[in-house]
């Protein structure tokens, strides 16, 4: 389920286009967050959520909806790019734990380590689908954790998914 537009791009352009795609997408723009960096291999993404008038809540801290929303889509995109056309990837569920109010710019780093990807591939060799939970910590510039988000992603062989749902990719 690699995005068709991504597969058509030369590898050298992919990271830049993913960053631009997130930053220009209206739903992501509305969060107030900005994708600052996408690794060339599409296995690391860094998002910045500035503390400003667009992202503050009524008490002046970062709005919880923005904290949660900036974590949406990064892991599924990385998995789609890494696994390729034969797999379906969907966000399935998510939870958020606020540790302390954010009165400063926060950062979220999304990674897909080699070991994690290898484990997913091994599991998919033995089973038609799986769920994997990824934890993302939103931190300030000094590394202090303000919020922890857990996102569960569903991954399946495309043929299994079609049989299970009785339809296509969507």
Q: What is the model's pLDDT at position 136? A: 98
Distance, in Å, from the CA atom of 99 to the CA atom of 3, rounded to the nearest integer, reads 35
Among 106, 108, 44, 47, which residue's Cα sits nearest to residue 77? 44
Q: Mean pLDDT across the chain, nearest whole number?
A: 93
Mean pLDDT computed over 113-140: 97
Over range 81-102, report the average pLDDT: 95
pLDDT surpasses 50 at 33? yes
| Confidence at 137, pLDDT banded by 50, 70, 90 | very high
Does the reported pTM lie above 0.85?
yes
CATH architecture of residue range(s) 4-165: Roll (3.10)
Tell whether the model's pLDDT for residue 169 goes beyond 60: no
Predicted confidence band of residue 1 (pLDDT cuts 50, 70, 90): very low
Separation of CA 168 from chain center: 23
């Amino acid at each position: 389920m690699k995005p068709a537009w991504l597969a058509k791009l030369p590898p050298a352009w992919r990271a830049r286009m993913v960053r631009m795609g997130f930053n220009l997408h209206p739903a992501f723009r509305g969060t107030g967050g900005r994708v600052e960096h996408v690794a060339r291999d599409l296995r690391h993404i860094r998002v910045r959520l500035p503390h400003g008038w667009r992202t503050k809540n009524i008490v002046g801290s970062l709005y919880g909806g923005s904290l949660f929303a900036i974590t949406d889509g990064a892991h599924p995109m990385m998995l789609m790019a890494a696994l390729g056309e034969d797999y379906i990837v969907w966000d399935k569920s998510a939870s958020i734990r606020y540790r302390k109010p954010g009165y400063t710019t926060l950062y979220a780093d999304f990674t897909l380590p080699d070991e994690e990807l290898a484990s997913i591939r091994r599991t998919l060799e033995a089973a038609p689908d799986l769920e994997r939970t990824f934890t993302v910590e939103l931190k300030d510039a000094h590394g202090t954790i303000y919020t922890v988000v857990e996102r569960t992603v569903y991954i399946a062989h495309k043929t299994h998914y079609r049989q299970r749902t009785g339809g296509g990719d969507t």
